[in-house]
Amino acid sequence: DNQDTYVAFISGFALGSDNNVVISYGERDIYSRILTMTTEEVLSFFDHNTAKPNAMGDAQQSIVPPPKLGVYAIVLEDRQTNLLNFIENVGFKSVPHIIHGEAQSGIDMGDLYLRGRIAENYNINCAAGDCEPRRRDIARSLAHLQAIKAFLSSDNEYALVVEDDVAVVNHTTGGLLEEGGYLKQLIESLPSFDAEWDEINLGRCFDICNCDTTVATLSEKFAIVRPKRSFCSTAYLLNRNGARKLDQKIFKNLQGPNDWTKVKANLHNEYDMLTVTPRMFEQAHEEGSDCGMTGGCEHQPECGLFEGEPKSDASCDILKPSDGSAHLLHSS
């Protein structure tokens, strides 16, 4: 009888307590159809256990609320306009939670080391030629940690974290978040996803892709795989368990770039990483422009070796730690 209540109820499925950081998946046609329902029809519509056709005309169909997803966008350079244009083009319905990371010029290596935030190897021999790349890595990693903490302080079930230089890859056509969009399908399947995971990387780089193990398929085009070394943190999905691992342990004492740190934790079975292939997002690499968080404009392929990495090492055993150590290469 109180139809406004029903509309608010359905809207509440899609929106969290902070509308600025949650994607709304509410469908306007559903709203308008609910307004025409009787009380009995609305109750039937929300009855998850009904075995008969509901008011929408779909047999044995239950209404499962979309997961509460927060969008966290990291900005280290003056690229917020670029980032917001990207968010709009992809199809997000609301402005994400913007994380303004500290400028790398403000990173005090010695202070971070004394406070136990970075490992000794990050502070030792910080000569003029080596300090700036390390400061950039640390600024980026600390910004990711800010995003993780913001996610954990919310009531969101999942986080989508993107960096300020994120771009949609050419082969990902159509609206990712429109009805039938690949990213929308992935997000809505998360509550029923069987595989163990902490993070799903949506924009990996420099992986040994022939060693992928398929976990699930999204369509004929995209699959979710268990990778060997899923570098690049351009865009990734995170659940609360994974966020807690990063916050409480993995990012406590940084020993390398954030993506390198997560790959290492994954190799030691401390963190479960999956990835979407082919990747949906990549780091922008416009020639002759500031490429933001990449630290340069070079292209970083989804699959392949680092410069100078011996081809003989490109086997599926390359990253299997046998003695507690791992063969890892920095991505910067």
| pLDDT one-digit tens code per residue, 217-266 | 887 788 999 998 999 999 999 999 999 999 999 998 888 889 999 999 99
Q: What is the Cα–Cα distance from 142 to 164, expressed in whole angstroms? A: 14
Residue identified by tokens 């963190």 is 271
In whole angstroms, give the CA distance from residue 182 to residue 3. Answer: 33
If one compares 298 and 279, the residue with the highest pLDDT of the two is 279
**Would you say residue 49 has pLDDT above 60?**
no
Which has more confidence, 53 or 252?
A: 252
Query: What pLDDT score does 31 carry?
Result: 38
User: What is the helix, strand, coil percentage profile of the chain, to 5?
Assistant: 35, 15, 50
CA atoms within 13 A on the CB side of 158: 21
pTM above 0.75, yes or no: no
DSSP 8-class letter at 93: S
pLDDT of residue 46 exceeding 70: no
Query: What domains appear along the chain, each with residue ranges and CATH number?
Result: 9-51 (no CATH), 69-292+300-308 (3.90.550)
Of residues 277 and 56, the one with the higher pLDDT is 277
3-class DSSP state of 312: helix
- Would you tell me how many other CB atoms lie within 10 Å of the CB of residue 167? 19
> What DSSP string runs through 207-267?
B-GGG-EEEEESSSS-EEEE-S--B--SEEEEEHHHHHHIIIIITTSB-S-HHHHHHHHHH
Q: What are phi and psi of 206, to 5 degrees?
A: 50, 40
Look up tokens 């800010």; give the residue: 146
What is the per-residue pLDDT for 23?
32
**Whose CA is closest to 159, among 23, 262, 282, 59?**
23
Query: What is the C-alpha to C-alpha distance for residues 117 and 138, in angstroms, rounded to an integer?
Result: 10
Residues 134 and 187: their CA atoms lie apart, in Å, by 34
Tens of pLDDT, residues 139-187: 899 999 999 999 999 999 999 999 988 888 876 655 666 655 778 888 8
Strand (E) or helix (H) holding 109: helix 109-114
pLDDT value at position 104?
Answer: 78
